[in-house]
Amino acid sequence: MEKTFSLQRREDGIAILTMDVPGETMNTLKPEFGPEVSQIIAEVKGDTSIKGIVVVSGKKDSFIAGADISMLAACTSEQHAKDLSQQGHVVFNALENMNIPVVAAINGACLGGGLEFALACHLRVCSDDNKTVLGVPEVQLGLLPGGGGTQRLPRLVGVATALDLMLTGKQVRPKQALKMGLVNDVVPNSILLTTAIELAKKGKSAAKPVKQSKLNQFLESTSFTRDIMFDQARKQVDKKTAGNYPAPAKIIDCVRQGLNKGMAKGLEVEATHFGNLVMSKESAALRSIFFATTEMKKETGAAGAEPRKVKKAMVLGGGLMGGGIASVTTTKAKIPVRVKDISEQGLSNALAYAYKLLDKGVKRRHMTPAVRDNIMSLMTTTTDYKGIKDADIVVEAVFEDLALKHQMVKDVERECGEHTIFASNTSSLPIGQIAEAATRPENVIGLHYFSPVEKMPLVEVIAHKTTSAETIATTVAFARKQGKTPIVVQDGAGFYVNRILALYMNEAAQLLLEGQRVEHLDSSLIKFGFPVGPMTLLDEVGIDVGAKISPILEKELGDRFSAPAAFDKLLADDRKGRKNSKGFYQYGPKAKKAKLVDESVYGVLGIKTASDKEAKEIAERCTIQMLNEAVRCLEEGIIANPRDGDIGAIFGIGFPPFLGGPFRYIDTLGAKNLVDTLTRYQKLYGDRFAPCEMLKNMATEGNSFHSN
Ligand SMILES: C[C@@H](O)CC(=O)SCCNC(=O)CCNC(=O)[C@H](O)C(C)(C)COP(=O)(O)OP(=O)(O)OC[C@H]1O[C@@H](n2cnc3c(N)ncnc32)[C@H](O)[C@@H]1OP(=O)(O)O
């Protein structure tokens, strides 16, 4: 079998150890590497001519992407996974204990087990390339760094920095890595190898201790003070995870035990916890998200169609959404964009939105003012249609008025090229209706972003009946360049995400009208795993927006979408939510310190609060509405498959990732159990809980939505 590691001796005594996994685009660590590396270490130890080693990647622009995640899926028990971790410990310890200096030369992604490999080296130098990132993202997979990272990181960069890296899983850029002491030097890739060789010649003493703040030095100096840090970190983790994610607490335990009882004990605890986490349902769900999104990256969105290149874009509307869309187009996609609005104020809003986001990067020293200004120069503005003849795609982000959108379709067809795509950011209007105004309807498509655009990863690409495959593929590719995860959905009121969200929100509204307190509703769904509760979400999105979408959904999809009539009283009382500082919560100066319910909302709705229902029942009533409608969307072909339905719900509305998405969650619950629960609630509260046909068939046949 082709080897992954190769050793090249040099006349100056520095040997180059190259890792290049045959046939794979990324280097990942696999169980069979242990014996291969151990053999090389033994060979080096027996060759006194070798004075140092430099470890490099054979891949063009990545170092090591971590352990092979698919290898973890093959684990059959906690012990099996623990053994994998301990095999890594043996190899990395042997590397670390070599008498000659070992230097990692890092270019590109150095993540998870890849960084742990580099940490076992005595010194690390990385390139300043854009693709060079370092981090331990295991926590995002429901895991922990199982290759010694929980022990080496704190000892290298300090407890506080190490916990931050491990508990967030964030990737750091070269300069940040240098500043925190993760690497010893940052150089252009052209001199990376030379620098690493020179570093190896200097020997292990070239490593300089990391400067810690006085406070951190004090806190890390004794087990008593360290325990204060660990207890504080644990409190923050418990608050953030609501007990739904086991990995963070285990990471803290590994670091605590390792520092208090020594590295050998720490490594033992790390391996045990790693084994437990690999077999956890939460990690299986989170790993499925990684594989789903990786698989989706390879799809064009329209079988057999190749995307056209988008060299220039236009955004119609400089409001919150238009500004966000223009911002991600220039900042992420690096595509010139021309923003059109009817007023100079609208254009200023768009420019200010983009500039504010970029300037945050300058303030955090992630970019220079010159880079910021260069990116800003990609955004131009206009109050007419000048300078857009060569636009490849026009994204409209104006208010939900069909006549206005029809006019824009006509304008764009008149002013732009015959291939120019008209993409509507509408959140509810059927794309087919918008396309009725087009002479080239094949170029009309929906491109539905979620607010805030720069943060929400999902976009829905909505094809109507005659949207061309090329238009779909081009729009999907454009969204990807904006850093988005697109799912292609079929045309229909509310598309997918807003449709499943609407029933979830309506059930929360029903519970409110039954006397459940606003804050109890929100806390129940946060405990279930949503990032925010339904009442907070309604305030953020806008009560008026929800009220506008509901009748459209009810007209197209049926009575189950009829929103509780009492909610009209909220609009009559001019309650729109955060946007006019009047909603379910208070938004005045007092509210800056604590989130306070606006108790007057109960009087407006004419309700008296009742005793709290169990949080589990509240969460169940709201979530099974979402699950049932997600299956209906699959049944009607709105979504192509359960994978897209899972990713759409997780990335679009924050469906709890540790549950894997609606369809994986139904598989966990069991279709029959869900049908029984829906039927029980149907008898209590009416036909809005009636299980859909596909779900009943799944229950009868005992099928699951996912095979793995
Ligand atoms: C020992 C313990 O500490 C356990 C661990 O190390 S757990 C793993 C920790 N590492 C990660 O979580 C990193 C996961 N990978 C990524 O985040 C990204 O792939 C990347 C940032 C490294 C690169 O992103 P991008 O340039 O977009 O490339 P793709 O995501 O499309 O990936 C390209 C192919 O590489 C495969 N791949 C990447 N990482 C892994 C991995 N850790 N295990 C298995 N396979 C991995 C990915 O599936 C793509 O494969 P393909 O066949 O080319 O589609």
CATH of the domain at 582: 1.10.1040.50
CA of 131, closest atom in ligand 1:
26
Tokens, residue 628: 């049932």
Q: How confident is the model at residue 213 (pLDDT cuts 50, 70, 90)?
A: confident
Closest residue (by CA) to atom 47 of ligand 1?
A: 294
Considering the domain architecture, whether residues 11 and 91 belong to the same structural domain is answered as yes
ipTM of the complex: 0.95
Residue 367 scores a pLDDT above 90: no
Q: Which of 27, 86, 288, 294 to mutate to test the pocket of ligand 1 (most atoms within 8 A of CB)?
A: 294
Residue 392 pLDDT exceeds 90? yes
Per-residue pLDDT reduced to its tens digit, 101-141: 999 999 999 999 999 999 999 999 999 998 999 999 999 99
pLDDT digits (tens, 9 = 90+) for 72-85: 988 999 999 999 99
Give residue 65 CA to ligand 1 midpoint distance, Å: 5
User: Quick one: 506 and 488 in the same domain?
Assistant: no
Shared domain check, 9 and 83: yes
Same-domain status, 486 and 531: no
Residue 345 domain flag: yes
Range of the domain at 690: 498-637+670-701
Ligand 1 atom showing the smallest separation from residue 290 Cα: 14
Mean pLDDT of 393-418: 94
Tell whether 318 and 441 lie within a shared domain: yes
Substitution candidate for ligand 1 out of 20, 24, 26 with most atoms within 8 A of CB: 26
Q: Are 152 and 273 in a shared domain?
A: yes
443 and 537 in a single domain? The answer is: no
The residue among 256, 279, 302 that closes a domain is 279
Residue 291 belongs to a domain: no
DSSP per-residue codes, 15-72? EEEEE--TT-SS--B-TTHHHHHHHHHHHHHT-TT--EEEEEESSSSEEE--B-HHHH
Same-domain check for residues 444 and 421: yes
Residue 69 in contact with ligand 1 by CB distance below 6 A: yes
Question: What does the pLDDT read at residue 529?
Answer: 94
Nearest atom (ligand 1) to Cα of 141: 12
Determine the average pLDDT of the residues in 611-634.
97
Q: What is the mean pLDDT of residues 423-441?
A: 94
pLDDT tens figures, 257-309? 999 999 999 999 999 999 999 999 999 999 999 999 999 999 989 888 999 99
Residues 479 and 333 in one domain: yes
Looking at residue 232, which CATH number applies to its domain? Answer: 3.90.226.10
pLDDT for res 204: 78
Give me the number of domains the chain comprises: 3
CB 303 within 8 A of CB 470: no
Same domain, 549 and 476: no
State in Å: Cα 47 to ligand 1 middle: 35
Regarding pTM above 0.95, the answer is no
What average pLDDT score do residues 402-418 get?
95
**Element housing 425 (H / E):** none
3-state helix, strand and coil shares in percent for the chain, rounded to the nearest 5? 55, 10, 35
Classify residue 652: in a domain, yes or no. no
Query: Which of these three, 264, 279, 294, is where a domain ends?
Result: 279
Decide: 128 and 187 in contact? Cβ < 8 Å: yes
The secondary structure of 512-579, three-state, reads HHCCCCHHHHHHHHHHHCCCCCHHHHHHHHCHHHHHHHHHHHHHHHCHHHCCCHHHHHHHHCCCCEHH
Q: Could you give the strand order of the β-sheet that contains 62-64, starting from the edge strand earlier in sequence?
A: 62-64, 109-111, 133-135, 171-172
| Active site amino acids | 460
What's the mean per-residue pLDDT of the chain?
Answer: 94
Is there an atom of ligand 1 within 6 Å of 294 CB?
Answer: yes
The mean pLDDT of 36-59, rounded to a whole number, is 94
Which atom of ligand 1 is nearest the CA belonging to 145?
Answer: 3
Question: Residue 205 pLDDT > 80, yes or no?
Answer: no
> CATH number, domain at 395?
3.40.50.720
Who's near 594: CB < 8 A, 6+ residues apart? none
